Structure 1
Amino acid sequence: MPNQVSMGAMMMCSFGAAPSSLVVLPKNKVLCEGPPAANIMDHLPMTNILPFGMCSSPANPTVAAATAAALGVLTPMPCVPATTTPWVPGAPTVLIANMPALDNISRCMCNWGGVIQFSNPGTAKTMIP
């Protein structure tokens, strides 16, 4: 059974070099085991989703430019998340601020081709049916 995701949940990007933690602002006014609970709209880059160290996606323009300058040798560059779409699928039967709650099986796509997923939901006891 999926767990509710809250502030401090650990995420990993398929093209990132390091984990990152989710930032959930208290605007939804719902707490989960202490920290604010997340919904699928908590996907804003540099607000909710912080960098994952270095990016190695060839679709990222900075990585492509650095790789071209290195004569085709893949050259990772600093990650700047580009998440324009909400997390999917979320938990449609549980609403937080009129949007589906964010569970630990949801994924978020980066414009550079990375898939962001949770390694730790930030909660231990709160399950979503």
Structure 2
Amino acid sequence: MPIPVVNGAQLMCSFGISPAPLTVPPTKRTLIGKQPVAVITDMLPLVNIGSFGMCNSLANPQVAAATSAALGVLTPMPCVPAPAGPWVGAGPSPLVGSLPVVQNNCTLTCAWGGVIQVIAPGQFTTQTG
């Protein structure tokens, strides 16, 4: 069952080397566990999506230039996420305002070829029994 993603969720890019936090603005948002819920337009680089440390994608012009200067030895460069569109998911999603909510099964494509995934949604449900 998909879980809504909130401020503080952890993300990972397939070409990055470390997780990055998701920052969701608190303005006019539905809250879960006192944290604002993310919507599919929460994808601005270094505003909503932090850096994944270093980028390993040769499609990234900085990585390509550094690798060329190193005579073809892959040379990672600092990551600046470059989302190629909004978050996409695998099914219907609840709405906040008129926008679908980001769920833990949603992905975001980076212009440098990476796929950004949610590795921790920022909120969890516990069950006692």
Q: Which residue of 1 aligns with 2:88?
A: 88
Tell me the TM-score normalised to structure 2 length.
0.92
Determine if contact 1:13/1:115 at 8 Å carries over to the other structure: yes
Q: Which residue of 2 aligns with 1:57?
A: 57
What is the correspondence of 1:31-70 to structure 2 with a 5 Å cutoff? Answer: 31-70=31-70
Q: Report the secondary structure of 2:80's partner residue.
A: coil
Give the aligned residue type for 1:76: P
CA distance in 1 between partners of 2:32 and 2:9 (Å)? 12
Which sections of structure 2, spanning at least 5 residues, go unmatched? none
Aligned amino acid, residue 103 of structure 1: Q
TM-score scaled to structure 1, two decimals? Answer: 0.92
Number of corresponding residues: 126
How far apart, CA to CA, are the structure 2 residues paired with 1:92 and 1:102? 11
After TM superposition, the structure 1 = structure 2 runs for residues 1-129 of structure 1, keeping only pairs within 5 Å, are 1-89=1-89, 92-125=92-125
Bigger mean CA offset, 24-33 vs 106-115? 24-33
5+ long unaligned stretches in structure 1: none
CA RMSD across the alignment: 1.5
Q: Using the TM superposition, name which of 55-64 and 79-88 deviates more.
A: 79-88
Q: What amino acid maps onto 1:7 in structure 2? A: N
Residue identity (%)? 53
